[in-house]
Chain A
Amino acid sequence: MATVKINGKEITVEDGTLILEAAKGAGFDIPTMCYHARLSKLASCRVCLVEIVGQKKLQPSCVTPVMHGMEVLTESPVVKSARSSMIELLLANHPLDCPVCDKGGECELQDVTFKFGPRNSPFGERKRRFHEEDYILSPVIIQNINRCIQCKRCVRICDEVVGASVLGSIERGAKTGETSFVKEYLDCDHCGNCIEVCPVGSLMSRPYRYQSRPWDLKGVDTVCTYCGTGCQLTVQARNGEILRVISKPDKGINNETLCARGRFGYSFINSHERFVTPMIRKGGTLEPVPWNEALKAIKDGLTEAMKDGRKTGGIASGRLSNEELYLFQKLMRGVFKTNNIDSGSRWNTGAVKSFANVMELNKGGISVYDALNADTLFIIGSSISDENPITDYLIRRLSRNKKMNIIIASPRGLKLDSSATLSLRHRPAAEGDILGGIAKVIYDKNMDKLKDLTGKEHLKNISRENIPDLTWTDWSSIESVSGFMLSANSITIAVGNDVLRGPSRIESMHILAEALRLLGKDVKLFPVFDRANQRGAWEMGVHPDILPGYSFRDGDGLGSEGIIDAASRGEVGALYVVGEDIVSDFPDGGFVREALRQVKFLIVQDIFLTETAKMAHVVLPGASFVEKDGTFTNQEGRVQRLRKFIEPQGDAKADWEIIASIGEAVEPSFHYGSVSDIFKEIKGAVPMYRGIDFEGLDGNGAIVKGSGIGGQGAGVVAGFSLRPKSEVRSQEQETPDPEYPFILITGNHLYHSGRLSLKADTLRDILPEAVVEMNEEDAKAMGVSKGDKVKVKGDRYEATLTAHINKRSVRGVVFIPENFTDVPVNMFFTKGKGFPRVKVLPLSSLSPQGRGPG
């Protein structure tokens, strides 16, 4: 601790505290321009200079730590005059076109000048002008460098946090300008974080430009619903029209950052394509009806459809709120008496159960900051840079000045590879075998200490010999990963939802964690989800074998695949789908469409007429995330508030209200008046939520605590087996078909999430149509370069797409995002067959010459 005197006031602070922070603590406001708490230190603007008694020169308080006994003056005449002359110098060449500057009213330069600056200036020269007209840097950025004050916050955030590193300085001295190097369209993340941190109106948001003045905006702090990271964001509107989304430095795990989806993905809310009245299929077409008619039709339809013992089922999205998901499962289980429920239709029902178990989700949540406080971080099963951009940023930022080994295992090359100590490229769906391989090496090296390791017998099937075949990874890389884990005291294993796309043998994860723990390591498990409330969905019990609060059971309920299978056999009388476009998601587009045709009564609740909704007998208009209240539980297990900001459009209603009114229509006691009432009930049903105060949830939310129920990790492991040797050449292992040399994988694109983001015009502008990403060597071998059109052909579907090259992706794999209606990637899939095989035909030479890995 250091005791220092600031303007005569004594204050004791931690050693190493910056003078700036100590002064703030003592109640003195020092202006800053270049300083940013979470970026590297620059000390270039000199606005924060202070006097240290006994030192001749003024010192920048933003980089100078206090020393015990130091006496600091922040208000002395010298300091005040230095401060005001720095501001005067910053203003000298500044255009001062505040009346037409977007930043006016929330500009740090204005604020600092108003508070500390000179009131007039003798500067009478021609001002420096770089350009007369603002220029466009990206679909989201427009720049006026004349206003730039060279604080380099934009450059630093883009480099140190986003990892795109596309901004920099051009020229030197007084001609320095911070911009893109080429002044051409940036090939970047389009995250807008550079705009967010720009203190002046130099970098501006294109969608928001000239839309409003900050003081005319009203806003609400809420949570992003695009991925499991769960960023806090502030939605702002003028006269009820949503004009922008911003992030706040003091809110949420994301602080000032957001990704393109979070920041620019809001405009679907005002989309004209939304349907805003209930509709009933009448003579082949969907026709608007009032709510009471729709509800009556549902009640009648259900009774009719369930006659002669046909099944009912329900599929709800991991993007609904906890309250909605809880009510949904209660409705299905309690009112419709069925366990046929699931969240989403992309995951394997069994894999989900194993995952929830081995990832110890019932033990409560873990803050991402705690998870990243580890010597070794191993990431597997997620294209994390694309799926969870802010998780990627956090890892990049927090690992910058820390000794942390980051190891990434994924088929695709990821932006985060540049922060990694080691990146493994593996064959799709090999995650379980890789985890098993690592466990095997660790076990072999520590057999005496691991005598009691549960599940060790499963490791027998993994060997130096079969690993390359199983995983396309060599044994020595597996050994290196084991080495990093063995040399670490604390290890965090982050596992993404790609392991849920098929039976994944994720159980080997448990053996690995167990082995490391037996060796005395601190092991943390961190799940990574693409759907914002995936974790909440399971916690609320939206899964045939998981009751609220992770009460696991082996029941008769069907998951999505089971429901769709049953439907295809004509066994499903009624199916209720909320917020999920299963026709676009289920990994067999042809099959699911056929199956849904057999469903007697299909109810779809959504905000757009999705492919699934188009097949429904009744469609119900739900509300967007700003039109309803509720809570979301992100991948960390952090419960955050979703806050209603505007009224639902037209006759649309909050999804929980709709679910409740369906329940009430059938059973009058199923009545709920408010989200907080439902939350109260959740607290009773889900012990993990007992400690959470709904009203008190602020920008940091609250992390769920372990409940002690459920928890059969070891049991699940006992019941599975790693692939026996004989099975090595099983289904996915079959000799590669030279006709179809590539394995097709899918997931979310960086700019999109599900199909919803396509309705947000800014995101659609950034990436309007599907692309296919492939390894550079593979592309070269076919003579394909970035931007070329290629045809991707499988045994049941083909599509023409633009080629993207990923230098670091594994050979023999192509990736098509699952977000595009023009190329519904699930049409390539065949149910039960894993990832499809495809060939790629360059369109210039349509001869079939697709070539696989070497």
Chain B
Amino acid sequence: MFEPIILKNINVPDSFKIETYLNNGGYQAFKKALKLNTDTIIQMVKDSGLRGRGGAGFSTGLKWSFIPKDPTIPKYLCCNADEGEPGTYKDRAIIEKDPHQLIEGMAIACYAIGAANAYIYIRGEFALGADRLEDAIREAYSKGYLGKNILGSNFSLNIYVHRGAGAYICGEETALLESLEGRRALPRIKPPFPAQVGLFGKPTVINNVETLACVPHIINRGASWFASIGPAKSPGPKLFGVSGHVNKPGLYELPMGTPLREIIYTYAGGIKGDRRLKAVIPGGVSAPMLIEKDLDTPMDFDSLAAKGTMLGSGAVVVMDERTCIVKAALIIHEFFHHESCGKCTPCREGLDWIVKVMRRVEHGEGKEGDIDLLLKLCGDVFGRTFCPLGDGAVMALRGAINNFKEEFEYHVKNKRCMVNGAGR
């Protein structure tokens, strides 16, 4: 059994209080870091092989190293706590149960990149999480881990909590910056990248909650320790949120690269009622589905990419044999359609058209040629959108159609569902 690293305090009573955190070795990494050269820290994070847990899997150390060193330019860290991908609930656990772990990670990151102000952009619905963070930040100030001249050093840091503006797109890093600046959350053109022109036009690092939570452990236990967990190219502990038709849905911390089969059958207790697995989404709803034969795929960035899908946020959604894939695909597509920010033509108009066709296919009103039309539309959208949301939407749909084409065609031909028989 893998010994939890990020979730290690999670079941301790009052885990969210600073005393609990301190009693369990909290803020030692930060103390240690303050004595280190900032380049050393960035090198350590690079060497650890930590890759962003927000979905894209970009090297965290490398991202930090892009921030200009000029001390006269203000810099910012933004923690992306907008966690909105259906099936994903890992960051919430860290925020609500162990907020100091995040704050310590942020403090180290800010020290490393030279930021004196940091923001936590938290999903608006996370009311408890926001309160916990506010309290934890207050505690950290009073104990001297935040504020001016922290622990007698030259380093000063303020952290602010900003509650999100209620859309999935707010989690896209540049839309997040727009929203934080008080505008409509629409993604920005890249380049310039946030490392050059970010929040308020200044160099900015945006990191996911889980990414930042890894940082204190890397400082405490060393880069090579971290790099030794899981596959060499995508190492470290990873939180997997398993949901769907499993016996024990929940959040599991396992080494990267744990095979999907092990996650579902060993940890999540297998499929409910011992039914057969039909499909599984490995990394949040934009990740194309996998099927039974893919279950031995190791759950890490590269192995999943090789399978044409992605690790994304690590949200594993399991569907058993009774699931109507057409309906599942529609539900997922409705989500993207609803959340499209509307900025770019392919996503705004493409998803709208697709949803109309999908609805009629699902409702038994499909027409001949609809499946080809859907595939054509996916092709029209894919690779042409402004941000990854639109791409994700059509990748997910295309994955469903490619794996279960006959089921879609059945819907069109027979005006009813192949799995459940009924019209809808």
Contact = CB atoms under 8 A, between A and B. Distances in A.
B355 to A, nearest CB: 8
B346 A46 contact: yes
A173 B383 contact: no
Contacts of B346: 46, 85-86, 89
A45 B345 contact: yes
Nearest to A45: B345
Interface stretch (B19-27, B141-149, B283-291, B336-344): B336-344
Contacts of B123: none
Nearest to A86: B345
Count class of interface residues, chain B = 20 to 34
Contacts of A173: 337-342, 348, 351-352
A780 interface: no
Given A92-B349, A125-B353, A150-B348, A49 B384 contact: yes
B161 interface: no
A85 B344 contact: no
A175 B342 contact: yes
A93 B386 contact: no
Nearest to A40: B189
Contacts of A149: 345
Given A56-B383, A89-B350, A125-B353, A174 B342 contact: yes
Contacts of B343: 42, 44, 150
A618 to B, nearest CB: 62
Contacts of A82: 380, 384
A76 interface: no
B263 to A, nearest CB: 31
Contacts of A43: 189, 344, 386
Interface string A162-174: 0000001101111
A122 B369 CA distance: 10
Interface in A341-378: none
A131 interface: no
A324 B145 CA distance: 78
A128 interface: yes
A41 B189 contact: yes
A264 to B, nearest CB: 30
B167 A46 contact: no
Interface in B366-395: 369, 373, 380, 383-386
A90 interface: yes
B345 A47 contact: yes
Contacts of B352: 92-93, 128, 173-174
A176 interface: yes
Interface string A126-169: 10100000000000000000000110000000000000000011
Contact of A150 (B342, B351, B383): B342
B356 interface: yes
B189 A46 contact: no
B184 interface: yes
A720 interface: no
A149 B349 CA distance: 10
Contact of A90 (B337, B349, B383, B384): B349
A220 interface: no
A89 B345 contact: yes
A43 B345 CA distance: 10
A185 interface: no
A45 B344 contact: yes
B144 to A, nearest CB: 38
Interface string B261-289: 00000000000000000000000000000
A56 B384 CA distance: 11
A18 to B, nearest CB: 12
A123 B348 contact: no
A57 B382 CA distance: 9
Contacts of A172: 167, 339-342
Most buried by A among B337, B339, B353: B353
Contacts of B384: 46, 49, 57-58, 82, 86
Interface in B347-366: 348-353, 356-357
Contacts of A126: 356
A174 B337 contact: yes
A42 B386 CA distance: 10
Contacts of A92: 349, 352-353
Contacts of A175: 342
Contacts of B338: 173
Nearest to A56: B383
Contacts of B349: 89-90, 92-93, 174
Contacts of A128: 352
Interface string A95-128: 0000000000000000000000000001101101
A46 B386 contact: yes
B395 to A, nearest CB: 14
Most buried by B among A58, A93, A176: A176
B386 A44 contact: yes
A606 interface: no
Most buried by A among B167, B337, B339, B386: B386
B402 to A, nearest CB: 20
A588 interface: no
A58 B342 contact: no
Most buried by B among A85, A149, A176: A85
Contacts of B345: 44-47, 86, 89-90, 149-150
A88 interface: yes
Interface in B306-355: 337-346, 348-353
A123 B356 CA distance: 10
Interface in B74-95: none
A660 to B, nearest CB: 59
Contacts of B337: 173-174
Contacts of A176: 342, 348
B386 A123 contact: no
A63 B348 contact: no
A557 to B, nearest CB: 57
A89 to B, nearest CB: 4
Contacts of A86: 345-346, 380, 384
A834 B189 CA distance: 54
A308 B33 CA distance: 101
A155 to B, nearest CB: 10
Interface string A426-462: 0000000000000000000000000000000000000
Nearest to B349: A89
A122 B376 CA distance: 11
Contacts of B380: 82, 85-86, 88-89
Contacts of A44: 343-345, 386
Nearest to B360: A125
A115 to B, nearest CB: 17
Nearest to B185: A172
Nearest to A168: B184
B374 to A, nearest CB: 11
A149 B356 CA distance: 19
Interface in B155-191: 167, 184, 189
A58 B167 CA distance: 27
| Shortest 7 CB-CB contacts between residues of A and residues of B | A176-B342, A174-B352, A173-B340, A89-B349, A85-B380, A125-B356, A173-B342
25 contacts: A46-B386, A57-B384, A82-B384, A85-B346, A85-B380, A86-B345, A86-B380, A89-B346, A89-B349, A89-B380, A90-B345, A92-B352, A122-B369, A123-B353, A128-B352, A150-B342, A168-B184, A172-B167, A173-B337, A173-B338, A173-B348, A174-B340, A174-B352, A175-B342, A176-B342
Interface of A: 41-47, 49, 56-58, 63, 82, 85-86, 88-90, 92-93, 122-123, 125-126, 128, 149-150, 168-169, 171-176
Given A45-B344, A49-B384, 8 more contacts: A45-B345, A46-B345, A46-B346, A89-B350, A125-B356, A149-B345, A173-B341, A174-B352
